[in-house]
C-alpha cells in the first residue's frame, strides 16, 4: 500500500514532525513497506491459533503474588544522593 506524499505530510503533522523533502520521501517509502508487510500478515489464516500461542505464559510457572515487607525508610534512603524529611530530595523541575 503505497502512501501518497499528502498522507505522509498529514502523518508528520499529527506527529508534530518537521521533515525535509528528502526525509518525507524516505519515510513515505518506509511506511509504505511496513503497511505492505502488515497486509501480508493479514492474509494468514489464524482462526485455529489460540490467542496465547507462542506467548510462553502457558508454559511458565509464575510465583504467587504475595505481599512482602519493603525496606525500612532509613535503609531505602541510603541509596539517595540527597534526602530531606524522610524523602528523596531531587532538583526542582520548574524554577
pLDDT by residue (tens digit) across 37-60?
999 999 999 888 777 655 655 566
Domain that holds residue 22: 5-42
In a domain, 17, yes or no: yes
Residue 15 lies in a domain: yes
| pLDDT at residue 58 in the model | 58
Q: Is residue 37 part of a domain?
A: yes
Residue 2 has pLDDT above 70, yes or no: yes
Residue 27 lies in a domain: yes
Residue 80 CB contacts under 8 Å (≥ 6 apart), including other chains: 88, 89
On whether residue 21 sits in a domain, the answer given is yes
Based on the structure, what is the number of domains in the chain?
1
Domain-located, residue 12: yes
Could you tell me the CATH number of the domain that includes residue 18?
A: 1.10.20.60
CA 5/CA 35 separation, integer angstroms: 15
Q: Judging by beta carbons within 10 Å of its beta carbon (0-12, 13-18, 19+), is residue 8 exposed, middle or buried?
A: buried
Query: What's the pLDDT band for 34 if we cut at 50, 70, 90?
Result: very high
Quick one: pLDDT band at residue 28, thresholds 50, 70, 90? very high
Q: Each residue of 49-95: pLDDT tens digit?
A: 777 655 655 566 778 889 999 989 999 999 899 999 999 999 888 87
Q: Would residue 51 count as lying in a domain?
A: no
Q: Is 52 within the bounds of a domain?
A: no
Amino acid at each position: 500500500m503505497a502512501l501518497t506524499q499528502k498522507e505522509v505530510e498529514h502523518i508528520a503533522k499529527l506527529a508534530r514532525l518537521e521533515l525535509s523533502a528528502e526525509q518525507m520521501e524516505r519515510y513515505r517509502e518506509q511506511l509504505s513497506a511496513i503497511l505492505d508487510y502488515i497486509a501480508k500478515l493479514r492474509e494468514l489464516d489464524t482462526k485455529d491459533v489460540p490467542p496465547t500461542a507462542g506467548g510462553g505464559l502457558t508454559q511458565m510457572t509464575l510465583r504467587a503474588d504475595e505481599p512482602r515487607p519493603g525496606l525500612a525508610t532509613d535503609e531505602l534512603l541510603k541509596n539517595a544522593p540527597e534526602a530531606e524529611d524522610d524523602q528523596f530530595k531531587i532538583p526542582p523541575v520548574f524554577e
